[in-house]
């Protein structure tokens, strides 16, 4: 065990993953000290968290009438927090493309990024990998499926792996007809059967766009081609994913559906530390565990995302941006649920082939895709 505690920054500390991370860290103050916290606009919760852990840096992206002088304000606070000298682990729990520059800055500065913010690895996988090589930093996934794969691999490389099988709960509409899904309401789409999450990822889980993001995330994290990454529906969310090795052996990681363990493991990998955050595993209580084929034709966002991953270049960034914009419009009640995959498909047709080789080009692709989706629905 290390003698002095490691400094941790939580970007997006007021969200679902951010608050989980803070809870986990509070159980392990012997190992970790929270040095930096950031939020988008939730001043009240951020203030409570600051009073609790007394970080040396506080960032707020959007501030209203009463900016606090001792807090850093504006979008730059994420990168500032990620680069701090007193921080060695950055938990990136921001939602969406807004988290990209902080991830790049952190790995360039040689830090570990415990990454929940999957959108940015999807958007800029090759850039993030190059930045890791440049600065000596590393990305450790917080996403439960990828944490499971990392744990199953236990240090083995992609050459030992035949296939990754990501599990998907199937979301709230797993058993709905295609017609009924297309007209689902916001309230119905936010009712996830096994996980309590932020609004954006809840909608992504309902469209299966989340699983598409995760397939691309797995491709970049573990270096496997898309032919070797599959998805299976597992409604109980107890098996968090499988790894099939070249000799045919299959490993899986199981557990009660909770983000506490993946967050803790991203901090301690490859070590394990004693923790009671997850209820004890009881196979009888968890049973039966069932698996189903994914309904690709009825949830087109998954196929669109995998195709965008295979196309590479800016296509994954366009997929992500079109999805983010369409989800925002859906949550505002301005488009139908079935319009989300329609918007993604149209944006990829129109702009999937644009340049994606630099940070600026990806930023442009992101903006163009968002504008395209708004214009598509005259919003
Ligand atoms: P939430 O919506 O609950 O939280 C998002 C956090 O990011 C909040 O702290 C929010 O601040 C902040 N934020 C939002 N927009 C911006 C912005 N433009 N700039 C800076 N900060 C911003 O989301 P989740 O915690 O559910 O998800 C976070 C990430 O983790 C997503 O990428 C998601 O896909 C991923 N993830 C989530 C899982 C889950 O179980 N929730 C599981 C696996 C991955 P404020 O509160 O002030 O608005
Ligand atoms: Mg996941």
Segment 195-213 mean pLDDT = 96
Domain with CATH 3.40.50.720 in the chain: 6-141
* Residue 17 Cα to ligand 1 middle (Å): 7
- Collapse the DSSP code of 62 into the 3-class scheme (helix H, G, I; strand E, B; otherwise coil) and give the result: coil
- Closest CA to ligand 1's atom 36: 116
* Least reliable range by pLDDT among 14-28, 63-77, 365-379: 63-77
C-beta of residue 259 within 8 angstroms of C-beta of residue 144? yes
Tokens at 262, concatenated: 């993946």
* Residue 237 Cα to ligand 2 middle (Å): 10
pLDDT of residue 68 exceeding 80: no
Q: Which atom of ligand 1 is least distant from the CA of 18?
A: 25
pLDDT of residue 27 exceeding 70: yes
Segment 256-282 mean pLDDT = 95
Which of residues 349 and 279 earns the better pLDDT score? Answer: 349
305-356 pLDDT, tens digit per residue, is 999 999 999 999 999 999 999 999 999 999 999 999 999 999 999 999 999 9
- pTM over 0.85? The answer is yes
Sheet containing strand 57-60, edge to edge, reads: 72-73, 57-60, 32-39, 6-11, 89-92, 112-115, 138-141
* Residue 85 Cα to ligand 1 middle (Å): 24
- Report pLDDT for 166: 98
Predicted confidence band at 256 (pLDDT cuts at 50, 70, 90)?
very high
Q: CA–CA separation, 264 vs 277, rounded Å?
A: 9
Instruction: Indicate the fold that domain 6-141 takes in CATH.
Output: Rossmann fold (3.40.50)
C-beta of residue 373 within 8 angstroms of C-beta of residue 323? no
Pocket of ligand 1, beta carbon within 6 A? 12-18, 39-42, 61, 78, 93-95, 98, 116-119, 143, 195, 197-201, 259
- Closest CA to ligand 1's atom 31: 95
Pairing of strands 32-39, 57-60: parallel
- Report pLDDT for 196: 85
Q: Alpha carbon of 150 to those of 99, 161, 180: distances in Å?
A: 22, 12, 37
82-104 pLDDT, tens digit per residue, is 999 999 999 999 999 999 999 99
Q: Alpha carbon of 82 to those of 85, 171, 348: distances in Å?
A: 9, 33, 32
DSSP 97: G
Predicted confidence band at 66 (pLDDT cuts at 50, 70, 90)?
low
- Report pLDDT for 302: 98
| Cα–Cα nearest to 75, from 95, 65, 61 | 61
């Amino acid at each position: 065990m290390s003698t002095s505690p490691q400094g941790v920054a939580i970007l997006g500390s007021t969200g679902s993953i951010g608050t989980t991370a803070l809870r986990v860290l509070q159980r392990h103050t012997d190992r970790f000290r929270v040095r930096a916290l950031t939020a988008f606009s939730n001043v009240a919760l951020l203030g409570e968290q600051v009073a609790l852990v007394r970080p040396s840096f506080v960032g707020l992206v959007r501030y209203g009438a009463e900016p606090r002088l001792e807090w850093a304000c504006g979008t730059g606070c994420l990168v500032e927090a990620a680069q701090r000298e007193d921080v060695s682990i950055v938990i990136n729990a921001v939602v969406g493309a807004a988290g990209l520059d902080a991830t790049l800055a952190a790995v360039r500065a040689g830090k570990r990024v415990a990454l929940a913010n999957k959108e940015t690895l999807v958007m800029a996988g090759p850039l993030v990998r190059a930045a890791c090589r440049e600065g000596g930093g590393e990305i450790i996934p917080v996403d439960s499926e990828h944490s499971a794969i990392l744990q199953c691999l236990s240090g083995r490389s992609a050459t030992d792996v035949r296939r990754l099988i990501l599990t998907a709960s199937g979301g709230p509409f797993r058993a709905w007809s295609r017609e009924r899904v297309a007209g689902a309401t916001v309230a119905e789409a936010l009712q996830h059967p096994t996980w309590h999450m932020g609004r954006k990822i809840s909608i992504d889980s309902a469209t299966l766009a989340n699983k598409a993001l995760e397939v691309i995330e797995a491709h970049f994290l573990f270096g496997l081609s898309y032919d070797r990454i599959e998805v299976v529906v597992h409604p109980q969310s107890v098996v968090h994913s499988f790894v099939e090795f070249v000799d045919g052996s299959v490993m899986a990681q199981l557990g009660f559906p909770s983000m506490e363990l993946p967050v803790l493991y991203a901090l301690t990998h490859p070590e394990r530390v004693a923790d009671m955050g997850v209820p004890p595993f009881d196979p009888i209580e968890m049973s039966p565990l069932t698996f189903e084929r994914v309904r690709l034709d009825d949830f087109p966002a998954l196929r669109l995302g995998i195709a965008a991953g295979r196309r590479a270049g800016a296509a994954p960034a366009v997929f992500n941006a079109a999805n983010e914009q369409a989800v925002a419009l859906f949550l505002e009640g301005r488009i139908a649920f079935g319009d989300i995959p329609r918007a993604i498909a149209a944006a990829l047709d129109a702009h999937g082939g644009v340049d994606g080789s630099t940070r600026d080009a990806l930023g442009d692709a992101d903006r163009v895709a968002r504008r395209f989706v708004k214009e598509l629905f005259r919003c």
